[in-house]
Amino acid sequence: MPYVKEVFDYLIRTSPAQTEFYQAAKEVLESIRPALDKYPKYRQHKIIERIVEPERQILFRVNWVDDNGVIQVNKGFRIEFNSALGPYKGGLRFHPSVNAGVIKFLGFEQIFKNALTGLQIGGGKGGSDFNPKGKSDNEIMRFCQAFMSELYRHIGPNTDVPAGDIGVGGREIGYMFGMYKKLANRYEGVLTGKSLKWGGSLGRTEATGYGAVYFAKYMLEDRGETLEGKRCVVSGSGNVAIYTIEKLYQLGAIPVTCSDSSGMIYDESGIDLELLKELKEQKRVRLSEYTTYKPMAKYTPVEEYPEGVNAVYSIPCFAAFPSATQNELNEKDAEILLANGCICVSEGANMPSTPEAVDLFVDAKICYGPGKAANAGGVATSQLEMQQNASMTNWTFEEVDAKLAQIMKNIYVSASTTAAEFGEPTNLVLGANIAGFRKVADAMIEQGLV
């Protein structure tokens, strides 16, 4: 369809060097073509042209002083992409790889992900190129305060509600919340992922990982399969990976790997979850330390990965849970997974598979849950936190977990019925993109040209 190509070419011309954003936009634009054919209204209302443009992008300077008294300068970003369905909602990522294109891809994905949850949340994202690795607690606090000293004027519980992402967890949310409260002079649910002691929701920490496993469960159930007794590989060792592993154990599966940017652990008998939590949540040390406590486990540093391959995906498995970062799983990894008999991939990370890998999964008709569907449990539970804050109530862990499981089921049903409606019942990329797109596009039309 030349029309879609024109919009895409325009994007490349006007937003130079935003490769990750092009990748995310291309996937969505290509997979919604059948919906554009079916409903001429989207073209009449120039929804495609409008949806790829953020409503607002905020770029700001973050000055702070390190422990040696040296001034440091970082970039701050907040992209307010689409508010058709609710206040902008999406996490903050602190990582040296963050740039305008990365935040734009994450914000764009977030629009459709949030729409899929069926809850009232628009799409946004933000972050900084600040590297939290090796920073002292005081440095983290000073950076978070400096970051919020600008961000606070743009956000609010009914405007834009940030949360965590890579490099931003409970500690960072706490420091940012404190600074917001001081500057705005308001105690309100402006951030999610807050501590349970002051406004957080039970189950939010676990939600993204649990959700990705629930999503796999529902995909598999439809094919008469279960995760019970099955070997699974997980990448990453942050919040998403840890709670993916926890839920896999609860469902009787055997997660055998996890990784960080330096290497991967393969523990044939199953990853020691308590040890992993201690290393990553308490001690905040490198994953290589795992073998100090579990000498039988195998640690492979990244330098020893075979050329062009992520070693996590070379371990034979029934299901894979990419839970680290974008483009961590390439065509070669996908080939290896399929050759080894993997029949399920559920993405806890955002856009972890390259377009070539996605094509292989879709063509092979395995159970493939793209990130914007499979990892939506995190942001969905953030919205449950907003609901609790707004009504000044607290739900039990069981209540939140049951709601999360139901939301993941709804997302699966919505993506798979939409995929079937457009003649490709197993293609959840198409199903998720069209289902999310329709919700946002219809709301944009009904709200007029704003």
Q: Is the dihedral of CA 315, 320, 321, 325 positive or negative?
A: positive
Residue 199 binds ligand GLU, judged by CB under 6 A: no
The least distance separating ligand GLU from the CB of residue 205, rounded to whole angstroms, comes to 11
Nearer to ligand GLU, 238 or 263 (CB): 238
Phi, psi of 161 (to 5 degrees): -125, 95
Residue whose Cβ sits closest to ligand GLU: 91
Per CB under 6 A, the list member of 379, 407, 411, 441 interacting with ligand GLU is 379
Residue 165 binds ligand GLU, judged by CB under 6 A: yes
Nearer to ligand GLU, 112 or 218 (CB): 112
Query: Residue 211 in contact with residue 218, Cβ under 8 Å?
Result: no
Q: Is 125 a catalytic residue?
A: yes
What distance in Å separates the CA atoms of residue 355 and residue 79, rounded to the nearest whole number? 24
The least distance separating ligand GLU from the CB of residue 73, rounded to whole angstroms, comes to 25
Per CB under 6 A, the list member of 117, 128, 145, 192 interacting with ligand GLU is 192
Helices in 345-427 by DSSP H: which ranges? 355-364, 371-374, 377-391, 397-421
Q: Which residues contact 5 (CB under 8 A, 6 or more apart)?
A: none
The least distance separating ligand GLU from the CB of residue 327, rounded to whole angstroms, comes to 15
b/e burial code for range 108-131 (CB count within 10 A of at least 16 → b): bbbbbbbbbbbbebbbbbbbbbbe
If we measure between CA atoms, which residue out of 412, 388, 447 comes closest to residue 122? 447
Nearer to ligand GLU, 192 or 426 (CB): 192
Point out which span in 33-41, 301-309, 357-365, 378-386 binds ligand GLU (CB under 6 A). Answer: 378-386
Residue 163 binds ligand GLU, judged by CB under 6 A: yes
Residue 176 binds ligand GLU, judged by CB under 6 A: no
Per CB under 6 A, the list member of 350, 353, 414, 426 interacting with ligand GLU is 350
Which tokens is 401 given?
Answer: 């977990």
Binding mask 78-107 for ligand GLU (x = CB under 6 A): -----------xxx----------------
What distance in Å separates the CA atoms of residue 384 and residue 396, rounded to the nearest whole number? 12
| Burial of 58: CB neighbours in 10 Å, binned 0-12, 13-18, 19+ | middle
Distances (CA, A) of 72 to 131, 171, 262: 11, 21, 26
Distances (CA, A) of 159 to 84, 183, 348: 12, 17, 27
The least distance separating ligand GLU from the CB of residue 92, rounded to whole angstroms, comes to 8
Query: Residue 30 in contact with residue 4, Cβ under 8 Å?
Result: yes
If we measure between CA atoms, which residue out of 229, 219, 173, 176 comes closest to residue 196? 173
Nearer to ligand GLU, 128 or 192 (CB): 192
Number of residues that bind ligand GLU (CB under 6 A): 10
Query: Residue 242 in contact with residue 281, Cβ under 8 Å?
Result: yes
The least distance separating ligand GLU from the CB of residue 380, rounded to whole angstroms, comes to 8
DSSP-derived 3-state class of residue 238: coil
Residue 118 binds ligand GLU, judged by CB under 6 A: no
The least distance separating ligand GLU from the CB of residue 326, rounded to whole angstroms, comes to 11
If we measure between CA atoms, which residue out of 122, 250, 195, 193 comes closest to residue 384? 193
The least distance separating ligand GLU from the CB of residue 378, rounded to whole angstroms, comes to 4
Q: What angle do CA 401, 405, 409 make, to 5 degrees?
A: 165
Nearer to ligand GLU, 290 or 437 (CB): 437
Q: Which amino acid is at 133?
A: K
Point out which span in 33-41, 71-79, 251-259, 375-383 binds ligand GLU (CB under 6 A). Answer: 375-383
Which tokens is 25 given?
Answer: 């936009």
Per CB under 6 A, the list member of 378, 388, 426, 437 interacting with ligand GLU is 378
The least distance separating ligand GLU from the CB of residue 426, rounded to whole angstroms, comes to 24
Q: Which residue in the list 104, 113, 125, 403 is annotated as catalytic?
A: 125
Nearer to ligand GLU, 160 or 246 (CB): 160
Nearer to ligand GLU, 102 or 256 (CB): 102
Query: Residue 41 in contact with residue 122, Cβ under 8 Å?
Result: no
Nearer to ligand GLU, 310 or 325 (CB): 325
Question: Which of the residues 380 through 399 are near ligand GLU (CB under 6 A)?
Answer: 382
DSSP letter at 351?
S
Give catalytic residue positions.
125
* Contacts to ligand GLU by CB under 6 A: 89-91, 163, 165, 192, 350, 378-379, 382
